[in-house]
Structure 1
Amino acid sequence: MIIRAVETPEEKQLAYDVRTTVFVHEQNVPPEVEIDEFDGEAIHLIGYENDVPIAASRIRFIDNYGKLERICVLKNQRGNACGSEMIRTMENVIKKEGYKKAILNAQTHAIDFYQRLGYDVVSGEFMDAGIPHVTMTKELK
């Protein structure tokens, strides 16, 4: 997978299309919740396989953290380490921006995935867009 920072409105729309497929169509997140007021300030990433968009994410900077958000991989590409590759790329962007900590809100079914990548649960369970989540953090080296 090739991961690039979104630079054009067309690329941003491709990232939104991947997010819409995963979050709106698969997970029934309302479209107005998925595409929100924070998209304008975020760094967006998109992952391509053979020039086809298959993964997307965004990063925001809050307090002392780089916040990993909207991480998704199309269903037919899951299990190919695309998610791990996206997380590593996001962490590198955060470090390049001078931050040493990452934070994310993980869907509870993905806790083990994030723990394998070095993230620790730091909150109780809460609901976001009707889906149970926990907050997780990691010190970046």
Structure 2
Amino acid sequence: MIQVIIAKSDQQMKDVYKVRRTVFIEEQQVPESIEIDDKEEQSIHFLATDNGNPVGAGRLRIEGTKSKAERVCVLPDFRRSGVGALLMIEMERLSKKQGLKEIVLNAQTHAIPFYKRIGYEVTSELFYDAGIEHMSMSKSLDGD
């Protein structure tokens, strides 16, 4: 059973970084110096597990009146299984609880259809981050 929690313990944080390392550093060849950045400490980290095994991760930062979802990733064997959507639901839930009205993110272009399906809209032109095509997206948290 898939479960999403806010990572708090040392082991949970190790699991977050393990998933991110697998997806971003090993699979997508993002340099570690870019993947692990100076925003880790100010972020709220989310961990998705399947029967206790780490399968997805993401982080959320509060930026003024909105939140920003970052580093959202799912291990290859669990893609298209709902893990990404569950991570986003929990990030949106926490954002609403904080009284925020909007959540934003920078999506890799291959993930744009996924984000559109769960209510996000493209808000920028194409740009590159870590050599990978991205577009900014946002979702209003009013009325959900």
1:29 match: 30
1:11 match: 12
Structure-2 separation of matches of 1:6 and 1:79: 23
Deviation at 1:63, TM superposition (A): 2.5
TM-score scaled to structure 2, two decimals? 0.95
Indicate the SS of the match to 2:125. Answer: coil
Indicate the SS of the match to 1:91. Answer: helix
Structure-1 separation of matches of 2:97 and 2:79: 27
TM-score scaled to structure 1, two decimals? 0.97
Structure-2 separation of matches of 1:63 and 1:133: 23
Structure-1 separation of matches of 2:139 and 2:53: 31
Indicate the SS of the match to 2:138. Answer: strand
1:50-104 residue CA offsets vs partner (Å, 9 max, x unmatched): 1100000000011221100100000011111111111111100111111010000
Structure-2 separation of matches of 1:3 and 1:112: 22
Structure-2 separation of matches of 1:64 and 1:30: 31
Structure-1 separation of matches of 2:13 and 2:34: 17
Identical-residue share of aligned pairs (%): 41
What is the identity, as a one-letter code, of the residue corresponding to 2:95? I
Deviation at 1:10, TM superposition (A): 2.0
Structure-1 separation of matches of 2:67 and 2:24: 22
What is the identity, as a one-letter code, of the residue corresponding to 1:133? H
Structure-2 separation of matches of 1:13 and 1:110: 25
Structure-2 separation of matches of 1:99 and 1:90: 11
Matches within 5 A, 1:118-133: 118-133=119-134
1:48 match: 49
Indicate the SS of the match to 2:95. Answer: helix
Structure-1 separation of matches of 2:122 and 2:11: 36
Structure-2 separation of matches of 1:110 and 1:70: 12
Q: How many residues align?
A: 141
Structure-1 separation of matches of 2:6 and 2:85: 17
What is the identity, as a one-letter code, of the residue corresponding to 2:43? A
1:27-64 residue CA offsets vs partner (Å, 9 max, x unmatched): 00001111110000000010110110000000001122
Structure-1 separation of matches of 2:136 and 2:26: 24
Structure-2 separation of matches of 1:47 and 1:109: 21
